[in-house]
Structure 1
């Protein structure tokens, strides 16, 4: 298991997502409107679209390619054309620095 620091919590505004790289894995780091952070695999299960480049609304992120929605709290595909879930990663904040755990 690896824990990597990916930046300051102040660098990601509530209601936005950004792409980070952790141990060679592309991850969509999402900060929902209430400030909670979630990290999911940055790959739509429909056609590998970059989820971290999609729109985050509430706890759902939209794949920018074909509009599939994913729940960032659990990785579940919410709408077609995606049907499979994406991996989720543990996120923590230590002294204002965001950390993501991968295995």
Structure 2
């Protein structure tokens, strides 16, 4: 694991209120990582696959500190990965993110 993180995107790559998926071959994780940009401009990283069904959280809606799964509308906290409503019953894993000079770095498997 790199102490400086892995550069995975620029801030411009991630529209406010949306997300992008970073392939697990880049991050070395078990799942792809969803980079999610909240409406306040902050960037968060969660495991990309919804724990309820196979759907990409990067394709969900990002707003007010949460991401909503595009398949069945389960919501997850961007900071902790904690599930907020059914049908999902399991949390998703958060990863530490840093934005430096407009570039986004992920620290895979490191808690935020």
| Fold match by TM threshold 0.5 | yes
Segments of structure 1 that go 5 or more residues without pairing to the other structure are: none
Provide the rounded CA distance (Å) in 2 between the counterparts of 1:14 and 1:27. Answer: 17
Number of corresponding residues:
103
CA distance in 1, matches of 2:102, 2:63: 24
From 39, 45, 49, the counterpart of 2:51:
45
Residue by residue over 1:63-94, the C-alpha shift from the partner in whole angstroms, topping out at 9 and shown as x without a partner, is: 11111111111100101010111000000122
Say if 2:70 is the partner of 1:68.
no
- Tell me, yes or no, if the aligned pair for 1:54 and 1:62 is still in contact at 8 Å: yes
Structure 1 or 2: more strand by fraction: 1
SS in 2 for 1:75: coil
In the other structure, the counterpart of 1:20 is 22
TM-score, with length taken from structure 2: 0.83
> What are structure 2's unaligned runs of at least 5 residues?
none
The residue aligned with 1:55 is 61
RMSD across aligned C-alpha pairs, in angstroms?
Answer: 1.4
